[in-house]
Amino acid sequence: MSVILENITKSFNKQKVLDNLNLEVKKGEFHVILGPSGEGKSTLLSIISGLIKPDAGKILIDGDIVNDLPPQKRGIGFVFQDFALFPHLTVFENVAYGLKIRSLSNKEIEDKVTFYLEMVGLEKHKDKFPSELSGGQKQRVALARALVIEPKVLLLDEPLSHVDAWQREKLREDLKTIQQKTGITTIYVTHDRLEAILLADKVSVLHQGRIEQTEPPKEIFYQPKTSFVARFVGATNIFKGCIIEIAGERAKFKLDDSNLIFTVKNYPIFKEKKEISLCLHPEKVSLSTVPKEENHFLGEIIDVKFLGMYFRVLIGMENVELEALVPKEQVSLLVPGENVWICFSPEALHPLCGRPCRQPCDLRKCKTENRCH
Ligand SMILES: Nc1ncnc2c1ncn2[C@@H]1O[C@H](COP(=O)(O)OP(=O)(O)OP(=O)(O)O)[C@@H](O)[C@H]1O
Ligand SMILES: [Mg+2]
């Protein structure tokens, strides 16, 4: 079932948390809402589920307005940020709870609970109490409890935040498999961009009460439209400047407060003298002892941080600082105070339209006109 939010607004004690928010989740889609802590992600899920009423706006499930429907009639399964299991009930009883209140027969309850406990890999633990389970197992109980009512829509609020890195990877894979098997429309909330890349068909980035961009993960990561989205997905190099020349496939971009000129792919929105910001992913920058690529500039290494497989290197050139994410093999180059060539292709630079989307993003329109609507 599809889920559509139209102009949803919600304030708590005069603090506007959601501000005319629009969102469209298609039937069968795995849709990830990505945003920093405190931006209103849980509030958004609670509004869809009916646990919180919006101050204004419409909620449509499968085309029907459900604003006045109580939560139990909306056909929604909810996995809460803190599991919310009943401590005095066993795993089996926790999962069976939603079916009991719907007055199913004992046989139906037994069959459905067993089926979903097997799906989440917990059949052997059905007689345990929540206090006897690990974080990952509790999370699986919460998932089975949400799935057992065979909802039309599944809402997952940071469901992997309480499990360690190992369990998280396994649970993440299981979640994706279960979602694909059941085909259930899923809205998954997280502040973790890696989770968004790995799970989502589409990602919506939430910022200041609105969705700033909705697109498949690749587009969100490599073609962010606003500086907030760019920074949040790790495109930390953002340059303000002006298009000074356009020649066929290429354009020249002069950075503000600097004499540096970048060569960039000519985008349809470019016009001479147009002021614009460009972003550059740190992993698209390479460092070298010799100049390479169409863009190469001599810079000075300021700082080097070890991140496991990669080094994050801060380099200065003229008045500009830039980050590069480079593999370990380049480590011999990386001494603070030394000079190094900073190299990147014109295609690595991407323009930010600078205006957050006010409507659900129309990808086709945005692409042809190359701006948000
Ligand atoms: N019941 C409430 N009463 C008052 N303020 C609330 C209530 N629920 C949420 N808020 C406020 O609304 C804002 C958004 O909260 P919300 O829990 O939706 O954020 P979140 O994006 O889910 O954060 P996190 O990633 O930390 O879970 C916060 O500033 C929070 O303090
Ligand atoms: Mg939350």
- Taking the centre of ligand 1 as the mean of its atom positions, its distance from the CA of residue 40, in whole angstroms, is 5
The residue whose CA is least distant from atom 7 of ligand 1 is 12
Is 170 contained in some domain? yes
> Which of 48-57, 153-162, 241-250, 291-300 has the lowest average pLDDT?
153-162
**Is 191 touching ligand 1 by the criterion CB < 6 Å?**
yes
Share of the chain above pLDDT 70, in %: 94
pLDDT tens-digit series, residues 109-162:
999 999 999 988 899 999 999 999 988 889 889 989 998 988 999 999 998 887
Indicate whether residue 38 lines ligand 1 (CB < 6 A).
yes
Query: How far apart are the CA of 164 and the centre of ligand 2, in A?
Result: 19
List the CATH number of the domain containing 314.
2.40.50.100
Rounded distance between C-alpha atoms, residue 49 and residue 59, angstroms = 10
* Residue ID of nearest Cα to ligand 1 atom 3: 12
pLDDT of residue 111: 95
Q: What is the pLDDT of residues 11-55, one digit of tens each?
A: 999 899 999 999 999 999 999 999 999 999 999 999 999 999 999
Mean pLDDT on 251-267: 94
For ligand 1, the distance from its centroid to the CA atom of residue 83, given in whole angstroms, is: 17
Q: How far is the CA of 38 from the centre of ligand 1 (A)?
A: 5
pLDDT reported for residue 83: 77
Q: 40 in ligand 1 pocket by Cβ < 6 Å?
A: yes
Q: For residues 310 and 327, what is the distance between their CA atoms, to the nearest angstrom?
A: 5
371 in a domain, yes or no?
Answer: no
Shared domain check, 156 and 193: yes
By C-alpha distance, which of 192, 194, 232 is closest to 213? Answer: 232
Is 233 in the same domain as 161?
A: no
Q: What is the mean pLDDT of the chain?
A: 89
Q: Are 105 and 77 in contact (CB under 8 A)?
A: no
- pLDDT, position 38: 92
Q: Is the CB of 46 under 6 A from ligand 1?
A: no
367 located within any domain = no
Q: Which atom of ligand 1 is nearest to the CA of 189?
A: 22
CB neighbour list of residue 321: distance below 8 Å, 6 or more residues apart: 302, 314, 315
Q: Residue 322: exposed, middle, or buried by beta-carbon count in 10 A (0-12, 13-18, 19+)? A: buried
Residue nearest to atom 18 of ligand 1 (CA): 40
pLDDT digits (tens, 9 = 90+) for 190-235: 999 989 989 999 999 999 999 999 999 999 998 899 989 998 898 9
Say yes or no: CB of residue 43 within 6 Å of ligand 1. yes
| pLDDT at residue 331, rounded to an integer | 63
Give the angle subtended at the CA of 28 by the CAs of 23 and 32, to the nearest 5°.
45
Q: Name the strands in the sheet holding 56-61, side by side, starting at the edge strand that comes first in the sequence.
A: 15-25, 3-12, 56-61, 64-65
Q: Using the atom order of ligand 1, give the atom closest to the CA of residue 46.
A: 18
- Give the Cα separation of 272 and 287 in Å (integer): 30
Residues 162 and 136 in one domain: yes
Give the per-residue pLDDT at 103.
83
**Best of 12, 157, 189, 211 for a ligand 1 pocket test (most atoms within 8 Å of beta carbon):** 12
Please give the number of the atom of ligand 1 that sits closest to the Cα of 191: 25
Domain boundary among 190, 210, 227: 227
Ligand 1 centroid–CA 93 distance in Å is 30
Residues 220, 238: one domain? Answer: no
Same domain, 194 and 114: yes
Residue 69 backbone dihedrals phi, psi, to 5 degrees: -85, 135
- pLDDT of 224: 92
Question: In the chain, how many domains are there?
Answer: 2
Query: Residue 213: what are its φ and ψ, rounded to 5°?
Result: -160, 135
Give the confidence band of 354 by pLDDT, cuts at 50, 70, 90. low
CATH number, domain containing residue 184: 3.40.50.300
**Distance between Cα 18 and ligand 2 center (Å):** 13
Nearest-angstrom CA–CA distance, 270 and 198: 33
pLDDT of 73 higher than 80: yes
Rounded CA separation 335/333 (Å): 6
Residue 370 pLDDT greater than 50, yes or no: no
Residue 15 — φ and ψ, nearest 5°?
-90, 115
> Is the per-residue pLDDT at 367 higher than 80?
no
The number of the ligand 1 atom at minimal distance from the alpha carbon of 13 is 4
Measured in angstroms, how far is the CA atom of residue 41 from the centroid of ligand 1? 8
CA distance 285 to 293: 10
Bridge-based pairing state of the strands 339-344 and 295-306:
antiparallel
Q: Does 361 have pLDDT greater than 80?
A: no
Domain identity same for 212 and 243: no
Residue 330 has pLDDT above 80, yes or no: no
Q: Is the pLDDT of residue 365 over 80?
A: no
User: Range of 252's domain?
Assistant: 228-352
